[in-house]
Structure 1
């Protein structure tokens, strides 16, 4: 609960913002928060910064509000505050209030994830925050940014990502379907999340079948699984069999799979590093050259920050033969 001094200060600065004295209020909020920080009163600093940022953002002062948001995250780090429902929801509310075009929003989002990575239990950042941010970007049609967060999100993120990629795919030619869902399948496999790799593929294929009634499908049953084969989309079959192989197969199965689809795979060299790394992670096939997984995923996911990512095709091309 706020002390009387904190509440008085908050109300005084609130009035200044309401009077249009944005610069003065912003500077004083910074000064006051630093005073509390120096004496270790983190709760007061957090309360003052949160209230000030909210008021400035409501007043359409995105730059000043965004600056206080960044200071707030630094206070979180200084206080070594662990991510919990209260500390996260405070930041979620502020992110929601920031306009998409505000330059400081992306940095605030990145700093928020960095804080959860350092002081939370998830080295790649809090999954719930990743899911929220991924949805935020998805609703703004920022596919490149959305997928990077959804890959590291919650169980619900896989369906969101698959449907987002399917909407993106619909603007392209029919035979390019595998190049879109591969972004999710490879992404999830590379972070060790086989379950969501399968789930994203399932959702994408289900939507593909639902909206393409003339698509030829062959059902193949085996002792371990039932597989749908699409004669016109061999690389979609490759992805399905790859996810199955990671669950049931060995190194030889993986090699045979690559060999069977070699003629199609040679046309999409952007998949090479991902497939090699999957071979090492799931089948014990050592990579001959060192690979930086973050660089590889960054290359797969394209150039972030595109003004309208859905208008751009993935950086994967090639024609597909019937198989």
Structure 2
């Protein structure tokens, strides 16, 4: 144990939390200061040397102990200093040890006030810059999504889980959005909108396996809670269909569940259309005296699908949702709509402004 940490512990044991915080911060600042002789060129990255590593250990240990004493503000301040002034400044990646440490700090911070967001904002900014994912470290997002789900903060939990392409995160997201849907005054009639949040969002991120896992689990929850929704189920594609032998065919055992909600039927078909992509015709077309493969069949299927279900599902006709489905057509099926901004985020903001009574404002099934 370093002499500085020993002094921090002595201050903590005596209840002098202010001095403990100040001792940790000033010692870390001194350890992190660039050398006075032969300083590195301006703009260069300082090394993660022995002194920087000692500062990291001091800041983490002091932050953890302050949080355990209930000193959330002081603990988070040291945690942010660790992330910003040590790991981010020295371009240290988020490895197993760093991830375990920051998750422990997040857990000790708790949900009160804005302290956890202050800490996690710094963590995601650091991990996004050091290669852990464009939105920050996926495993930390998943941990935070699961934590917020237990706290019944469904909206924010879903935002963290949507950037995670893992099957575990997709199943948790299905639980989050289905539990959120139960607070909606429309009950079972509203579940399609909540299913759309997960399915369409994952598809726009090209997380097709996560989208499949999410929708399958969400459907199982919905049908268990509302058995009368189920109309029929059949293998997809049907064994007699030429699509069954196509390279774009879904894996064996895939099943399409027809429900009373057109929105749930649309999402199942939209997912499979996106998975198939532009595709080729499942049948050959005779041109002149020979049979040829007709390309672009997937694009036609997607356009027909939208045309049909926009008549049955009112919220699919909303401008922000149409922008989102147009974006999916561009990503997965080669369509090139003229659009600006981020239609998916606009859709999410419009459809899911809050839980319960503040949930999706767009009507329809």
- The alignment's TM-score, normalised by the length of structure 1, stands at 0.89
**2:267 aligned residue (234, 239, 248):** 239
In structure 2, how many angstroms separate the alpha carbons of the residues matched to 1:317 and 1:298? 11
Q: Which residue is 1:276 aligned to?
A: 326
Compute the RMSD of aligned alpha carbons: 2.0
Unaligned runs of 5+ in 2: 35-48, 245-253, 278-297
- State the alpha-carbon separation in 2 of the partners of residues 294 and 318 from structure 1: 18
Check whether the contact 2:170–2:210 (CA below 8 A) recurs between aligned residues.
yes
Paired with 2:193 and 2:200, the residues of 1 have a C-alpha distance of 10
Paired residues of 1:179 and 1:314 also in contact (CA < 8 A)? no
Distance of aligned partners of 1:298 and 1:247 in 2 relative to their CA distance in 1, 3 Å threshold: closer
Query: What aligned pairs does 1:124-135 form with structure 2 within 5 A after superposition?
Result: 124-135=135-146
Residue 319 of structure 1 and its aligned partner are, at CA, apart by 2.4
C-alpha displacement of 1:312: 4.1
Counterparts of residues 1-323 of structure 1 (less than 5 Å):
7-39=2-34, 41-74=51-84, 75-153=86-164, 154-172=166-184, 173-221=187-235, 222=238, 223=241, 224=244, 226-230=255-259, 232-248=260-276, 250-268=298-316, 269=318, 270-292=320-342, 295-296=345-346, 299=349, 302-303=352-353, 310-320=355-365
Deviations 1:174-200 (A, max 9, x none): 111100111110111111101111110
**C-alpha distance in 1, partners of 2:305/2:344?**
26
- TM-score (ref. length: structure 2): 0.79
Question: Cα deviation per residue 1:153-193 (whole Å; 9 max; x = unaligned)?
Answer: 23210000001111111223211110011111011111110
Q: How many residue pairs are counted as aligned between the two chains?
A: 309
What is the distance in 2 between the residues matched to 1:127 and 1:204?
22
Q: State the 1:215 CA deviation.
A: 2.8
Q: Secondary structure at the match of 2:167?
A: coil
Distance between the aligned counterparts of 2:343 and 2:79, measured in 1?
31
More helix by share: 1
The alpha-carbon distance between structure 1 residues 274 and 293, as it changes in their structure 2 partners (threshold 3 A), is closer
- Take 1:285 and 1:166, find their aligned partners in 2: how far apart are those partners? 32
Is the Cα contact below 8 Å between 2:154 and 2:355 reproduced in 1?
Answer: yes
Deviation of 1:263 (Å):
1.6
